[in-house]
């Protein structure tokens, strides 16, 4: 059951990414500008009005690329581990999943009005996926250490 749920979350997240990538440029820009305006309002308070909306919108868009693949990296590694794939094989397959999906996603954008593929975005996506894998692995190690400490203290 956990295996099915894990893979369902991976597929659902891929559908979220596809849906966001399938938005025409104007619709995508409207969404990211709305998020940027919200963040800018917070920054205006912190920086006393020193933040620029246009350049900050670009940063928000690239952070979104990073974040969605960060989550995909976590979900894919978790699904593989729940499927009994561990060690370097699970890491390699996870990397293959998010790099291949990022590449296909950029190719898909050729067919979306106002959008286009960018190698830079695949690199940003892959960086997000890699950090997701690293954090996932660190949390797994931390939990193992915690369990070991618990079992030692119980003796």
Give the pLDDT confidence score for residue 48 in this predicted structure. Answer: 67
Tokens 């030692």 label which residue?
152
C-alpha to C-alpha distance for 1 and 80, rounded to whole angstroms: 14
**pLDDT band at 57, cuts 50/70/90?**
confident
* Closest listed residue to residue 121, CA positions, set 39, 62, 52: 62
Number of Cβ within a 10 Å radius of residue 137: 15
Per mean pLDDT, which range of 16-20, 51-55, 145-149 is the poorest? 51-55
Give the pLDDT confidence score for residue 97 in this predicted structure. Answer: 98
Per the model's pLDDT, the better-predicted residue between 120 and 41 turns out to be 120
Per the model's pLDDT, the better-predicted residue between 38 and 146 turns out to be 146
SS3 112: coil
Q: With beta carbons less than 8 A apart as the criterion, state whether 117 and 27 touch.
A: no
Q: With beta carbons less than 8 A apart as the criterion, state whether 135 and 151 touch.
A: no
pTM: 0.86
Q: Looking at the 3D structure of the chain, how many domains does it have?
A: 1
C-alpha to C-alpha distance for 78 and 121, rounded to whole angstroms: 24
Mean pLDDT of 73-89: 97
Chain segment 93-133, per-residue pLDDT in tens: 999 999 999 999 999 999 999 999 999 999 999 999 999 99
User: pLDDT over 70 for what percent of the chain?
Assistant: 91
C-alpha to C-alpha distance for 78 and 28, rounded to whole angstroms: 29
Give the pLDDT confidence score for residue 53 in this predicted structure. Answer: 66
Q: Is the pLDDT of residue 153 over 90?
A: no
Range of the domain at 108: 2-154
Tokens 């205006």 label which residue?
44
């Amino acid at each position: 059951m956990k295996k099915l749920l894990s893979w369902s979350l991976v597929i659902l997240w891929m559908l979220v990414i596809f849906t966001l990538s399938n938005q025409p440029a104007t619709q995508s820009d409207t969404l990211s500008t709305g998020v940027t305006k919200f963040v800018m309002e917070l920054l205006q308070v912190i920086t006393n009005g020193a933040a620029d909306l246009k350049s900050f919108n670009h940063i928000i868009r690239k952070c979104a690329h990073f974040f969605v693949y960060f989550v995909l990296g976590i979900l894919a590694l978790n699904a593989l581990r729940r499927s009994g794939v561990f060690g370097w094989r699970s890491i390699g397959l996870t990397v293959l999943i998010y790099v291949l999906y990022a590449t296909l996603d950029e190719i898909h954008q050729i067919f979306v009005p106002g959008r286009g593929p960018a190698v830079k975005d695949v690199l940003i996506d892959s960086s997000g996926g890699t950090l997701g894998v690293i954090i996932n692995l660190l949390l797994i190690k931390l939990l193992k250490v915690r369990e070991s400490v618990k079992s030692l203290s119980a003796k």
